[in-house]
Amino acid sequence: MSGSGKVMTALLLIASWTLQSQRVPVLPQIELPHDYYFRELYLPQLMSGPSSPDWSPDGLQLVYAMAGSLWKQDIQSQTAEQLTEGDGYDYQPDWSPDGKEILFVRYNGQSMELMLLDIASGQVTPLTANGAVNLEPKWSPDGHSIAFVSTLGTGHFLLHTANVDKDKLKDLVTRTPDRVSAIKRYYYSEYDHAINPAWSPDGNSILFVSNREVAHGTGNIVSMDLDNPGETTTIHSEETAWKTAPDISPDGSRMVYSSYLGRNWQQLWLLPATGGYPIQITYGDYDNTSPKWSPDGKRIAYISNRTGNTSLWVIDSYVGKEMPVVTKDLHYLRPRKDVVIKTVDALGRPIPARVSVLDGQGKFYAPRDVWIHGDDSRYPKSQQFETHYFHSTGIANVSVPAGIRLKITAQKGPDYQIATRQIAENEGLPDTITIPLSRWEIPASFGRWWSGDLHVHMNYTGNYRNTTAILREQARAENVDFIYNLIVNKEQRIPDLDYYTPPEGSKIEKDIMILQGQEYHTSFWGHLGLLNLTEHYLVPDYVGYPYTAVASIFPHNSYIADEVHRQNGLIGYVHPFYDFQLFPKQSETLTNALPVDAALGNVDYYEVVGFAHHKASAAVWYMLLNCGLRIPAGAGTDAMANYASLRGPVGLNRVYVEQNGTFTSDHMIEQVKRGKSFVTNGALLGLTVNGSNPGDTIEINGQKTNLQFRAFLRSAVPVDHLEVVWNGRVIHEYAFKEDRNTADFTGQIEVDGPGWMVLRAFNDEANPDIPDYYPYATTSPIYITSSGKKLMSRSSAVFFLEWIGRIEKIVSSFDAFRTMEEKELILKDLNKARKFYENCFTNATIE
């Protein structure tokens, strides 16, 4: 490794350690992969709508979680009564058989603990304080025991039972000990899990979902006889995804559960309790989940997102009549005050924005009708809970406890400064709180820009039901001009497939542009963003899924690129790399085909800023550029826009393109492809060299030449480093003084050969106001050519030759090809790419 490579490695490792010590995933004690999936699809989330309903023993009332508290409501009434208001967020209530107590889960920011509410007195007693994630508590029919799921001692979701004696748990038994399945899994841990417990009416067995020796999905519905611990009987096998939640009817004859079964949305299904053929009882292009039988077995309460937010419904199990349980009036435990929060522009006009409202304990408040979103990580040194927010239209009515301290934060993407208003307890809450948002002024000589997020998933099996209209409002609050909704599968579902339409390329848009694209989802080769597909969506949208008809790793990404380019589409490599994949050495399992497709001319853009470590992604990008390849910077959040807990918001990672044409999809695509852009998760920045902009080419005569550059920066958070980079090497670092949010500077550099130049800004650590690994921004390159001399880096070529050699070795030994032709086509493209880098090595012009 070269000296510069060693320095880069050291910097990356230090940065990784620092950010890990400051920004940590929510509930890191869960030791399972792909935490962004189970966090949203399984863990309870803070939402303004209801979740997890349960019936009172007399069948007249429902208890449910909403806005972080428990509520009970007569199903014939429109008034709900608040039952809890503690120092955490309360979820998953389960009413005791005698009607006197309610089991529930309280999230305190560090763990999820089981609690017991005495309904008459309102007293809450902790049942656990083990620091684990304890979930889905369910009373046994006799009210003496509970079943629940816990990560206690293992970090994995395992089934436990315990007796309840005088408000304490005793005789704790782990019913599903930790176990590793022999079968290989794609998106799930090698360790088995057991979730969604439900007691049989006689209390002798527990129904739950187990993925023991299951390759895809969260598992089968199984039953365990408590007299024969460790033995299970499979009741029903199908691909599931966290939300199955079977519930047995009071007479023990059948169960209801939530399933997508070959469809794109979760609906309710009935199944004989001992297994058989499922029968669907609800229908719709939305999700129905969390079903619970009424005590008389005639009705089922459930949660639906048919209106976008969650709502509570009851269905007649005999004739299918559905009835919404509407909540108009809320009776709170403490006096409340309604406060109007206005976010306004420089002229005092309301403008949409992202808003967070916290009390002195760090608890969050929101209007009753908004979608609440939460960060997927937390900052332990400064936060009790992860950041939550909602998108305001500009005027929001929030109910908060009277007499409390408030902190209100408003943001509107990188174009605006962050605004904060704090109100002390003794100050008194006004009726209206107005928060002005100031837009950054950037030098006029740098032109005007449109911003876009190239990687959003409008619907991805989350708690909410998104539409293009709602997505447009999310973008408006974040000041995003255009969005690519990358339609993609989640397991066997492709929720947004019906939204796919070819682009109207020349149509001038007058509102936020929502464009439909695709994420090609093969993990072996690396995920691709497919933009501007003019003919059709590619199905299946993945290969390499073991134990399926697409277990082969053909077609590879190069084959897909040819099809996309035939449709006049763009190919981008998305959320590319993490530090551990590249440094201190390349991972032995790294098979991402970026270097291959770059060499073959297949890569139209590259997500330098995305759901990855930006410095690692940039390090690979620099080496590709140093091999003479011209690849513009792209950016995409990979935001699951219908999630309550997400990497986001929409527009967190965005690309800015020059406004030198009409606002059409054709123009956006052309600007992205030409690299007339910069990408960011926080700072605005710009660079010109001898009057040329990113994406332009400057020709010099082969002699040493002085180049004049101009640059600017505007950032809502202080920036640690602002650097001009030439061929991967820092040639100028701006010296900040007191103000680390703005910079305007000029300079001169001397170059004597071909190359490229970018301006980048980044921080060493994460910042709570930028919900990403750390703030990072970069321009696309300005290219310098020199009398026909080509830029070729010896060390970069060596790096990629090692990479391709590893892929060739893995492909050569792969045993799931359907034909030899598939294998030969892949090896042929790998050979072409290898020859490209061999030529770069042999004819290197720089080290």
Q: Each residue of 630-661: pLDDT tens digit?
A: 999 999 999 999 999 999 999 999 999 999 88
What's the pLDDT at 2? 40
Q: Each residue of 421-452: pLDDT tens digit?
A: 999 988 889 999 999 999 999 999 999 999 99
Assigned token pair, 373: 């979103």
Q: Each residue of 711-739: pLDDT tens digit?
A: 999 999 999 999 999 999 999 999 999 99
Least confident of 1-15, 36-50, 186-200: 1-15
What's the pLDDT at 21? 47
Residue 172, C-beta contacts closer than 8 angstroms, at least 6 positions apart: 160, 161, 162
Residue 378 burial (CB < 10 Å; 0-12/13-18/19+)?
Answer: buried
DSSP state of 79: E
CA dihedral 155, 157, 160, 165 (to 10 degrees): 70
Q: Are the beta carbons of 262 and 60 closer than 8 angstroms? A: no
CA distance 713 to 734: 10
Distance from the Cα of residue 258 to its chain's centroid:
23
What's the pLDDT at 769? 97
Neighbour tally for 318: CB within 10 Å: 9
What beta strand segments (E) does 154-230 contain? 158-165, 168-174, 194-199, 205-210, 220-225
CA distance 670 to 442: 24
Three-state DSSP class for residue 705: strand
- Measuring CA to CA, which residue among 255, 290, 331 is closest to residue 74? 331
499 has pLDDT over 60: yes
pLDDT band at 186 (very low <50, low <70, confident <90, very high): confident
Q: Each residue of 256-282: pLDDT tens digit?
A: 999 999 899 999 999 999 999 999 999
> Strands 254-259 and 247-248: what pairing?
antiparallel
What's the pLDDT at 377? 97
pLDDT band at 295 (very low <50, low <70, confident <90, very high): very high
pLDDT above 70: percentage of residues in the chain: 98
10 has pLDDT over 70: no
Strand partners, 617: none
Provide the sign of the torsion angle of the four alpha carbons 204, 207, 208, 211, taken in this order. Answer: positive
Residue 14, C-beta contacts closer than 8 angstroms, at least 6 positions apart: 764
Least confident of 20-29, 289-298, 540-549, 596-605: 20-29
Peptide bond into 649 cis (omega under 30): yes
Strand partners, 732: 724
Inter-helix orientation angle 614-625/794-813, to 10°: 110
> Strands 220-225 and 353-359: what pairing?
unpaired
pLDDT band at 9 (very low <50, low <70, confident <90, very high): very low
What pTM was estimated for this model as a whole? 0.96
Neighbour tally for 729: CB within 10 Å: 13
State mean pLDDT over 479-499: 97
What's the pLDDT at 203? 98
CA angle 150, 156, 161 (to 5 degrees): 30
Provide the sign of the torsion angle of the four alpha carbons 244, 263, 474, 38, taken in this order. Answer: positive
- Measuring CA to CA, which residue among 439, 435, 418, 478 is closest to residue 344? 435
What's the pLDDT at 12? 44
CA distance 697 to 707: 13
Q: DSSP string covering 414-482, please?
A: TTB--EEEEE-GGG---SEEEEE-PBPP--GGG--EEEEEEEEES-SS-SS---HHHHHHHHHHHT-SE
What's the pLDDT at 3? 37
What's the pLDDT at 8? 41
What H or E segment, with its residue span, contains residue 90?
strand 89-95
State mean pLDDT over 1-25: 49
CA distance 517 to 672: 14
19 has pLDDT over 50: no
Q: What is the mean pLDDT of the chain?
A: 96
pLDDT band at 18 (very low <50, low <70, confident <90, very high): very low
What's the pLDDT at 20? 44
pLDDT band at 753 (very low <50, low <70, confident <90, very high): confident
In this structure, the chain runs to a length of: 847
State mean pLDDT over 63-92: 98
Q: Each residue of 685-706: pLDDT tens digit?
A: 999 999 999 999 999 987 899 9
